[in-house]
Amino acid sequence: MNKLLSFEFRNAFKLLYVKLLPLIFLLFGILCGILNGNNGDGSMDGLPSICAALFEIVTVIGGMVMSKDFTQNTIRNKIIVGHSRTKIYLAKQILLTVIYLLNTVFLYAGYVITTKLTVTEDPTELYAPVFNKTGFLKASLIIFCSVLSLSLVAAFLTMSVKAALGGILPVLALYTNLFICTLADIFYNAKLLGWITDALPFGRMMMMTCSEPYAHTLRCCILMLCVGAASFAGGIMIFRKTNLN
């Protein structure tokens, strides 16, 4: 398993776009932090929406990395040398999750640190939202659970389709997610849509702010992680039965 993981990480981080992605996220976080500071806004309300927007890029990159074995017909080589399908899936899942979480950490570092360093004016005098520690922590919990869940769903979609199409499906799923979130925002009184939005990776992120703590944070995280766990289990089952000829 260690050799397989080492091989997957080494191959992935040879790719220029995978190596540049953390730097892009860091620079974008710094830019947004500077803009926040110049506006005297220390609430960091834009963090969830920025994460959701940027992870469209990560979803594309992740799909490309995950589907590479299928497009180059190298997936069977790993089975021939003795790796089980479960271990192959698990190695790719770990790789994708690390890519997602690594870029999230870089975005956070750039955004949060720069915002704290550059805010010089009193937000209350500018009528800007004030930093809410509880809201920030709850938003962060939802963001990281969203990222983890999205990586599990993306791996499931990519590995369940034995073609380059597997790299595109996570992107289509993300846009479907955003469409449902839009409906939930319009029909905000519909309780069912509220539960669906909480369960979808990035669903709640599009509709929350750090200055106003979300009342159902625990429910949201549990539902997203359940969706992720179901995707992981389903992905392994499907991949084990997939005909790779």
Tokens representing 205? 């992120």
Confidence of residue 7 (pLDDT cuts 50, 70, 90): confident
Tens of pLDDT, residue by residue over 88-112, are 888 889 988 998 899 889 988 888 8
Where do the H-state alpha helices sit in the chain?
2-12, 16-38, 47-66, 68-71, 75-80, 85-118, 133-159, 169-186, 191-199, 217-241
Predicted confidence at residue 245, as pLDDT, reads 63
End-to-end Cα distance, the chain: 24
Predicted confidence at residue 39, as pLDDT, reads 65
Q: How many domains does the chain have?
A: 1
Q: Is 151 exposed, middle or buried (0-12, 13-18, 19+ CB in 10 A)?
A: buried
Q: Which positions ≥6 away from 167 have C-beta within 8 Å?
A: 60, 63, 64, 66, 67, 71, 158
The separation between CA 225 and the C-alpha centre of its own chain, rounded to angstroms, equals: 12
Confidence of residue 75 (pLDDT cuts 50, 70, 90): confident
Helix (H) or strand (E) holding 230: helix 217-241
- What average pLDDT does range 220-229 have in this prediction? 90
Tokens representing 69? 């074995």
Top-confidence range, 68-77, 95-104, 167-176, 181-190: 95-104
Tens of pLDDT, residue by residue over 144-170, are 888 888 888 888 877 777 655 555 666
- What is the residue range of 77's domain? 2-241
